[in-house]
């Protein structure tokens, strides 16, 4: 105890001397001044709390925040290990927004949706050249979108970002320079009101056509969409939806280009283009009119805008899916050249997207295929070795129930991916019910709980499974998390154990390995957390203070080493016993009845 206090004091002195350097490394102090001024606060984080440790222990197991100890402080000195903004919200000027605050997150999703709207409407507006007199409502919506994009530029000049070292940069000058060097030009070009400029220009061959073409620059904002959705690409369903949406988006773009080519050929007097043929089929023929302002005739009338767009989209979809019905075909040279290019693009896109779709569907159904493969292997094993029908049904029930509980995941395999420290944290979380419900673990320190959690194993038992046989060595201590079990001695039920009960042997009192004096059989589907005798004794031997508390506070519901007197014909025991065996291992309820002699 004294040695630990001296070590902590030395560390505090070192931290106090280098406080200024720490603040420079972390871009603003992440350690409150109370840490350097009150050593007792650090002592409390190490678990030396005496009688008042019970409530704090529960808070730690449940994952609530607690005061940082000196070890976590030392780790915080390196920004590469743990970025500062993950530990504590940095102090920012009043006009600076944190990039991970709730408002900015909602705003980013709004910009994301508007970017999708832009990706759809910009090619459509450029191809069909909407004017103010034709569709005022569309112009109003586009103007509102332009205003929102402009507000987004202003917000980006006042939003923090994560620096190369993992720190949050809140300096206004640095934020402005970073934004000017990255997305400012693209965002500025995308928010200019091209529709308003184009509405006042009636010369489609002059500056108006230039404004229409510049609207395509807004599609560069899709780069932000890719960055935003990158975190969701690991999910199969989300990836599948995104791929199909991208496929339809490309088809929409190609349809707009296809219409523009047909319109250009029709304006140039090519009366055999696909657009001119569509006009004849729909009995909405085009006609030419001469105006005083233009030396060339102007094309008027023709099919409706809806008919032209749907037909163009239909043609691009038939080409991209390699169907090609032929009722809409390329006739002019420009249309044929574009169709050739579209077929090449569509072939690559089709192979890439639908190849991924096939892989995603296989991954989504891999768990089901694995489940049926496992069941087939079990059935073949039963047939090969001529396992009795009753035992075969028990095995199948166990396999199905275990799969339902674990979803086919191998816990040990997943834990092996993690480092030792992270693995211990996960094990503490998995055994949190045992640590919270039993008073024997309330006075355990952090290191003691982590050591115990690493040695706990979780098992699942089906109705009728025998966990212990008479005369078998008692090599583990079992904690019942869910389910009910019966203890049978001389063909009589002497106890029924349920949730929260503990059975096994008092290893910490008896040195010799004991033998079970009864059978323990599962009545319902049970989840058990067990720890081996040698592992438990190893932890108790290392943590002597905890060993005394554990031996004093652990309530051993049933000691399998000791023989019990024959239980009388207790009405609860007889009724429960009769009910359970009438169901023949098809039980899905958990009985709360606990009978203790």
Alpha-carbon distance of 476 to 435, in angstroms, equals: 17
CB 441 within 8 A of CB 435: yes
Q: Any idea which fold 419-583 has?
A: Jelly Rolls (2.60.120)
Low-confidence stretches of the chain (pLDDT beneath 70): 1-90, 130-135, 194-219, 221-236, 291-296, 565-597
Sheet containing 526-532: order of strands: 456-461, 526-532, 476-482, 502-504, 558-559
Q: Which of 112, 120, 116 is nearest to 227 (CA)?
A: 112
- Pairing verdict, β 492-497 and 456-461: unpaired
Note the pLDDT of residue 69. 40
At 420-449, the pLDDT tens digits run: 889 899 999 999 999 999 999 988 999 999
Note the pLDDT of residue 234. 59
User: Beta-carbon neighbour count of residue 308 at 10 Å?
Assistant: 24
Alpha-carbon distance of 10 to 26, in angstroms, equals: 22
Alpha-carbon distance of 265 to 263, in angstroms, equals: 5
CB 159 within 8 A of CB 96: yes
Segment (H or E) for 287:
strand 286-289
CB 448 within 8 A of CB 543: yes
Residue keyed to tokens 């159904």: 365
For 112, phi and psi rounded to 5 degrees? Answer: -65, -45
> Tokens representing 543?
């943590």
Q: Which of 547, 437, 531 is nearest to 482 (CA)?
A: 437
User: 31: which DSSP letter?
Assistant: S
SS3 of 446-508: HHHHHHHHHHEEEEEECCCCEEECCCCECCEEEEEEECCEEEEECCEEEEEECCCCEEECCCC
At 530-573, the pLDDT tens digits run: 999 999 999 999 998 899 889 889 989 999 988 876 544 444 44
User: 370: which DSSP letter?
Assistant: H
Note the pLDDT of residue 454. 92
Residue ranges with strand state E in 360-475: 456-461, 466-468
Interhelix angle for 236-267 vs 102-128, to 10°? 30
Residues 6 or more apart from 124 whose CB is under 8 A from it? 252, 256, 309
Segment (H or E) for 519:
strand 519-522
> Tokens representing 38?
């009150």
Cα within 13 Å of Cα(583), Cβ side = 14
Question: Cα Rg for the chain, rounded, in angstroms?
Answer: 37
Note the pLDDT of residue 10. 53
- Pairing verdict, β 502-504 and 485-489: unpaired
> Tokens representing 361?
């569907």
Note the pLDDT of residue 499. 92
CB 90 within 8 A of CB 219: no
Q: Which of 412, 407, 454, 413 is nearest to 435 (CA)?
A: 454
Alpha-carbon distance of 425 to 420, in angstroms, equals: 9
> Tokens representing 465?
């499974």
Note the pLDDT of residue 470. 92
For residue 358, CA distances in Å to 241, 361, 364 come to 13, 5, 10
Alpha-carbon distance of 108 to 205, in angstroms, equals: 37
Residue keyed to tokens 């409150």: 32
Angle at 388 between CA 385 and CA 392, to 5 degrees: 85
User: Beta-carbon neighbour count of residue 453 at 10 Å?
Assistant: 24
Q: Where are the domains of the chain?
A: 2-86, 102-321, 419-583
What DSSP string describes 189-232?
A: HHHS-HHHHHHT---TTTHHHHHHHHGGGGGGGHHHHHHHHGGG
Alpha-carbon distance of 551 to 451, in angstroms, equals: 17
Alpha-carbon distance of 398 to 376, in angstroms, equals: 15
Note the pLDDT of residue 502. 93
């Amino acid at each position: 105890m004294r040695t630990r206090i001296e070590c902590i004091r030395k560390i505090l002195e070192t931290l106090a001397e280098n406080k200024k350097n720490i603040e420079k490394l972390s871009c603003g102090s992440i350690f409150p001044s109370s840490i350097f001024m009150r050593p007792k606060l650090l002592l409390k984080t190490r678990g030396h709390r005496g009688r008042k440790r019970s409530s704090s222990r529960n808070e730690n197991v449940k994952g609530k925040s607690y005061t940082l100890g000196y070890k976590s402080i030392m780790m915080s000195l390196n920004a590469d290990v743990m970025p500062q903004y993950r530990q504590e919200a940095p102090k920012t000027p009043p006009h600076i927004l944190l990039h991970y605050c709730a408002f900015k997150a909602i705003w980013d999703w709004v910009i994301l949706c508007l970017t999708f709207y832009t990706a759809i409407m910009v090619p459509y507006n450029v191809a069909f050249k909407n004017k103010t007199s034709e569709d005022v409502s569309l112009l109003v919506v586009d103007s509102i979108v332009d205003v929102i994009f402009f507000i987004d530029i202003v917000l980006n000049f006042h939003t923090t970002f994560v620096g190369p070292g993992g720190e949050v940069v809140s300096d206004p000058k640095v934020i402005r320079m970073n934004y000017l060097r990255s997305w400012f030009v693209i965002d500025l070009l995308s928010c200019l009101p091209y529709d308003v400029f184009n509405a006042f220009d009636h010369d489609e061959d002059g500056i108006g056509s230039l404004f229409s073409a510049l609207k395509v620059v807004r599609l560069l904002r899709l780069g932000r969409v890719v960055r935003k959705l990158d975190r969701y690409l690991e999910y199969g369903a989300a990836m599948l939806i995104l791929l199909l949406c991208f496929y339809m988006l490309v088809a929409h773009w190609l349809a707009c280009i296809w219409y523009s080519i047909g319109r250009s050929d029709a304006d140039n007097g090519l009366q055999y283009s696909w657009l001119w043929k569509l006009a004849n089929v729909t009995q909405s023929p085009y006609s030419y009119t001469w105006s005083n302002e233009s030396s060339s005739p102007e094309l008027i009338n023709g099919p409706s805008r809806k008919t032209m767009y749907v037909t163009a989209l239909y043609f691009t979809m038939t080409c991209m899916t390699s169907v090609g019905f032929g009722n809409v075909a390329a006739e002019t040279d420009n249309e044929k050249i574009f169709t050739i290019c579209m077929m090449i693009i569509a072939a690559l896109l089709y192979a890439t997207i639908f190849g991924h779709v096939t892989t995603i569907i296989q991954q989504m159904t891999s768990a089901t295929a694995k489940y049926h493969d496992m069941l087939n292997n079990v059935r073949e094993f039963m047939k090969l070795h001529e396992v009795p029908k009753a035992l075969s049904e028990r095995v199948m029930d166990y396999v199905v129930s275990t799969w339902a509980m674990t979803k086919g995941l191998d816990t040990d395999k997943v834990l092996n991916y993690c480092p030792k420290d992270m693995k211990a944290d996960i094990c503490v979380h998995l055994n949190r019910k045992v640590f919270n419900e039993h008073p024997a673990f309330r006075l355990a320190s952090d290191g003691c709980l982590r050591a115990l959690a690493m040695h706990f194993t979780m098992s699942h038992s089906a109705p009728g499974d025998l966990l212990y046989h008479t005369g078998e060595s008692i090599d583990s201590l079992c904690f019942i998390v869910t389910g009910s079990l019966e203890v049978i001695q001389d063909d009589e039920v002497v106890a029924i154990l349920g949730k929260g009960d503990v059975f096994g042997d008092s290893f910490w009192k008896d040195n010799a390995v004991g033998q079970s004096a009864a059978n323990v059989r599962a009545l319902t589907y049970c989840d058990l957390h067990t720890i081996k005798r040698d592992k438990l004794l190893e932890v108790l031997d290392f943590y002597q203070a905890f060993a005394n508390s554990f031996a004093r506070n652990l309530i051993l519901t049933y000691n399998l080493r000791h023989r019990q007197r024959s239980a009388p014909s207790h009405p609860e025991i007889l009724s429960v016993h009769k009910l359970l065996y009438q169901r023949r291992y098809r039980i899905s309820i958990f009985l709360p009845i606990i009978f203790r002699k």
